[in-house]
Chains A and B, each alone.
Chain A
């Protein structure tokens, strides 16, 4: 495989993470618990969409990649495609993912390579996403009985999707497994301060036949894609 192909593979994976999570966060528009959160989630989604556009353009035509690929051709982590659930699920997903993305971009920004420019820019934005998720985890975990219980359920439900983040990714010249202990420590620290236990159980699910990075996705992802792609597919070549 050539270096360019390697870069495409990694750009596609990271770009799909950003695109899919951006869409999932966008689903909150009109439904967030308070106006400030609607704006916050929309802004985070916009940051992610900006990253996705740059990353997917490194891999090919951004519109074709976003709107015309089938489910199996997407390379995003299963974590980011999980439905928003209640607000606690969205915050747990944000906590797990933004901590990972922040560590990853900080590392990519520090080494020369095709991702250094984007990473150096985006790491500063993601620092705010991470802060947002951590503050909400503390508030919900250390809040009412109801919010604590919902946050506990959400953290547990998404735990099995967190192992995939640290599997080797073709085209990235770094050992992702090195990020894992730092991620675990950071998440553990936030959960503990929120009065939440670190979930138990496997972080890769019960079976191991590959996951999002190999194009294997969970059930709800197909429905998400149908909604995301139908306008573009129904009106090929249309523009505003």
Chain B
């Protein structure tokens, strides 16, 4: 970890407090996409931002919002650069970010032990195990979860907290989310997929 100057820490705080344009309850800092702020001279600043997904269309809106926030804070020139390495992972979302996602009605991604996905072992074609008690977020959860080397807890319904939920679609309103349904309260909900 590079030591930040007091000014850089202050600007990181300002840039980090910008809200995600598509999930306007979490800040960029809680989302873990803000990598660094470098002060080149007193009023010229470089910001490093990493995308959640390679094709995430929110990056441009995030960059503009960061520029706006830093300008408002008195920084004259702001350059936002997109960096790919190290790759962002849902494990970079802070505990506070997860809590806010849940409150917003989105099941947060589960924290994984291993980082990299490997070969996929597939189960049956059903999207839900016949045996609901063994479900524990099976379907995609078990397949991809096992593939990602994860010991995963069940995906809980963000509305009622039930662990009895099923996958409706692997891709939802954005690439980073899957669509699920709670079998207890019957509400559909988004799940921020583990990446």
> Quick check: B170 and A54 within 8 Å, CB to CB?
no
A193 to B122: give the CA distance in the assembly, Å. 9
> Across the interface, which residues of B come within 8 angstroms of A116, CB to CB?
85
Please tell me which stretch of B12-20, B99-107, B173-181 contacts chain A, meaning at least 4 of its Cβ atoms lie within 8 angstroms of it.
B173-181
Q: Is A153 an interface residue (CB 8 A)?
A: no
> Quick check: B169 and A130 within 8 Å, CB to CB?
no
A149 to B141: give the CA distance in the assembly, Å. 30
> Across the interface, which residues of B come within 8 angstroms of A232, CB to CB?
none
> Across the interface, which residues of B come within 8 angstroms of A65, CB to CB?
none
Question: Within residues 104 to 125 of chain A, which ones have a CB less than 8 A from any CB in chain B?
Answer: 106, 116-118, 120-125
Could you tell me the dominant secondary structure of chain A's interface residues?
helix
A162 to B42: give the CA distance in the assembly, Å. 56
Please tell me which stretch of A79-87, A132-140, A204-212, A221-229 contacts chain B, meaning at least 4 of its Cβ atoms lie within 8 angstroms of it.
A132-140
Identify which of B53, B88, B119 contacts A47 (C-beta below 8 A).
Answer: B53
27 example contacts (A-B, Cβ-Cβ < 8 A) are as follows A39-B169, A39-B171, A39-B173, A40-B171, A43-B174, A43-B175, A46-B57, A46-B175, A47-B55, A49-B55, A50-B51, A50-B53, A117-B85, A118-B54, A120-B86, A121-B54, A122-B54, A123-B117, A125-B53, A127-B148, A131-B144, A132-B170, A134-B122, A135-B170, A138-B125, A139-B125, A193-B122
Could you tell me the dominant secondary structure of chain B's interface residues?
loop
A120 to B53: give the CA distance in the assembly, Å. 12
Q: Mark A51-68, 1 if CB is under 8 A from B, else 0.
A: 101100000000000000
Excluding A54-B54, A193-B122, 5 further A-B contacts by CB distance (< 8 Å) are A36-B168, A46-B57, A117-B84, A134-B120, A190-B122
B residues with a Cβ closer than 8 A to A are: 51, 53-57, 84-89, 116-120, 122, 124-125, 127, 140, 143-144, 147-148, 168-175, 179, 193, 195
A123 to B124: give the CA distance in the assembly, Å. 24
Q: Tell me whether A135 and B125 are in contact in the complex, defined as CB-CB below 8 angstroms, given that A40-B169, A122-B54 are known contacts.
A: yes
A122 to B173: give the CA distance in the assembly, Å. 19
> Quick check: B84 and A125 within 8 Å, CB to CB?
no
Q: Which residue of A lies closest to B194 (CB)?
A: A124
> Quick check: A47 and B117 within 8 Å, CB to CB?
no
Q: Which residue of A lies closest to B173 (CB)?
A: A39
Q: Is A186 an interface residue (CB 8 A)?
A: yes
> Quick check: A142 and B85 within 8 Å, CB to CB?
no
Shortest distance between the CB of B29 and any CB in chain A (Å)? 20
A128 to B117: give the CA distance in the assembly, Å. 10
> Quick check: A127 and B147 within 8 Å, CB to CB?
yes
A139 to B127: give the CA distance in the assembly, Å. 10
Q: Is A165 an interface residue (CB 8 A)?
A: no
A residues with a Cβ closer than 8 A to B are: 36-37, 39-40, 42-44, 46-51, 53-54, 106, 116-118, 120-125, 127-128, 130-132, 134-135, 138-139, 142, 186, 190, 193
A217 to B80: give the CA distance in the assembly, Å. 39
Q: Which residue of A lies closest to B86 (CB)?
A: A120
Q: Tell me whether A121 and B170 are in contact in the complex, defined as CB-CB below 8 angstroms, given that A50-B54, A138-B125, A190-B122 are known contacts.
A: no
Identify which of B57, B120, B125, B173 contacts A142 (C-beta below 8 A).
Answer: B125
Q: Tell me whether A39 and B53 are in contact in the complex, defined as CB-CB below 8 angstroms, given that A131-B120, A193-B122 are known contacts.
A: no
> Across the interface, which residues of B come within 8 angstroms of A44, CB to CB?
171, 175
> Across the interface, which residues of A come within 8 angstroms of B53, CB to CB?
46-47, 50, 125
Identify which of B51, B56, B87, B168 contacts A124 (C-beta below 8 A).
Answer: B87
Shortest distance between the CB of B31 and any CB in chain A (Å)? 16
Q: Which residue of B lies closest to A47 (CB)?
A: B55
B54, B56, B116 interface centre (most CB from chain A within 10 Å): B54
